[in-house]
């Protein structure tokens, strides 16, 4: 959607003020709360990220329209900070510790194996089926178990790459 098109919409970017979905309403309310404030972009993006768990396209368009900023500029900010994600998080979050103790025990190989198995691009990416999000993290505080990964609340220690398939099966 071009800037010109965005500016012609009344109300929300979806043009459906009377039948806004809960997600669209949240975004609309957040954007309107900060409308006209100096430096509103970061607070708005933070609040949308917290409310929805990611920054959907329609939200970026709404921010662009309301703040009268180019969409590309907003995407530039959103992709610069690792806190922001443009895709929804997966049902399960896999965290691979790349802290020093884990790294020297081979956690990078475990991470690479997960990238391959899940067919994701890297840290912060989510599988196509929305099942898993892969994150690289710093020390998880259990270095004696290095290399360590967590899946949601479950902790796996002394993990080797060829165990990954079996571990993932528990969450399929
Ligand atoms: S370095 Fe991985 S748990 Fe501490």
Question: SS in 3 state form for 12-56?
Answer: CCCCCHHHCCHHHHHHHHHHHHHCCCCCCHHHHHHHHHHHHCCCC
> Binding site annotation covers 139?
yes
| Pairing label, strands 154-156, 92-97 | unpaired
- Dihedral pair phi/psi, residue 61, rounded to 5°: -65, -40
The ligand 1 atom at the shortest distance from the C-alpha of residue 100 is 1
What does the pLDDT look like over 19-28, one tens digit per residue?
789 999 999 9
In the predicted model, is pLDDT for residue 104 greater than 60? yes
Check residue 58 and give its pLDDT. Answer: 96
Check residue 18 and give its pLDDT. Answer: 54
**Residue 86 falls inside a structural domain:** no
**Residue 153 falls inside a structural domain:** yes
Distance (Å, whole) CA 21 – CA 12: 11
Residues 156 and 96 in one domain: yes
- Looking at 46, 80, 114, the residue that finishes a domain is 80
**Residue 124 falls inside a structural domain:** yes
**Residue 85 falls inside a structural domain:** no
98 band by pLDDT with thresholds 50, 70 and 90: very high
Residues 17 and 68 in one domain: yes
What would the mean pLDDT of 42-52 be, rounded to a whole number?
95
**Residue 121 falls inside a structural domain:** yes
Instruction: Please list, in sequence order, all residues whose beta carbon lies within 8 angstroms of the beta carbon of residue 22, skipping any fewer than 6 positions away.
Output: none
How many beta carbons lie within 10 A of that of residue 78, not counting itself?
A: 21
Average pLDDT, the chain: 89
99 lines ligand 1 (CB under 6 A): yes
Nearest to 96 by CA among 104, 107, 106, 105: 107
Distance 13 CA to ligand 1 centre (A): 45
The token pair that represents 164 in the structure block: 């990954």
Residues 100 and 151 in one domain: yes
Residues 125 and 59 in one domain: no
pTM for the structure as a whole: 0.68
How many beta carbons lie within 10 A of that of residue 43, not counting itself?
A: 13
Residues 55 and 115 in one domain: no
In the predicted model, is pLDDT for residue 11 greater than 90? no
The token pair that represents 152 in the structure block: 């949601």
Distance 142 CA to ligand 1 centre (A): 6
What would the mean pLDDT of 92-115 be, rounded to a whole number?
97
Distance 31 CA to ligand 1 centre (A): 39
- Looking at 80, 103, 118, the residue that finishes a domain is 80
- Looking at 48, 80, 112, the residue that finishes a domain is 80
Among 31-35, 87-91, 151-155, the range scoring the smallest mean pLDDT is: 87-91
Among 43-47, 81-85, 110-114, 161-165, the range scoring the smallest mean pLDDT is: 81-85
Distance 119 CA to ligand 1 centre (A): 25
Residues 71 and 97 in one domain: no
Q: What CATH number has the domain bearing residue 156?
A: 3.40.30.10
How many beta carbons lie within 10 A of that of residue 117, not counting itself?
A: 16
Check residue 172 and give its pLDDT. Answer: 86
Residues 100 and 67 in one domain: no
| Domain region containing 14 | 3-80
Check residue 83 and give its pLDDT. Answer: 84
Number of domains making up the chain: 2
> Binding site annotation covers 143?
yes
């Amino acid at each position: 959607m071009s800037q010109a098109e965005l500016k012609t919409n009344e109300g929300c970017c979806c043009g459906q003020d009377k039948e806004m979905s809960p997600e669209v309403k949240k975004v609309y309310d957040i954007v309107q709360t900060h409308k006209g404030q100096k430096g509103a972009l970061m607070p708005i993006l933070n609040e949308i990220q917290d409310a929805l768990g990611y920054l959907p396209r329609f939200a970026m368009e709404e921010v662009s329209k309301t703040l009268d900023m180019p969409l590309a500029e907003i995407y530039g900010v959103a992709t610069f900070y690792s806190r922001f994600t443009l895709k929804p998080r997966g049902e399960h979050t896999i965290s691979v510790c790349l802290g020093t103790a884990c790294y020297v025990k081979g956690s990078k190989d475990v991470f690479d194996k997960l990238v391959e198995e899940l067919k994701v691009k890297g840290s912060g990416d989510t599988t196509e089926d929305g099942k898993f999000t892969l994150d690289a993290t710093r020390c998880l505080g259990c270095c004696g178990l290095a290399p360590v990964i967590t899946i949601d609340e479950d902790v796996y220690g002394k993990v080797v790459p060829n165990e990954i398939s079996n571990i993932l099966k528990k969450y399929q």
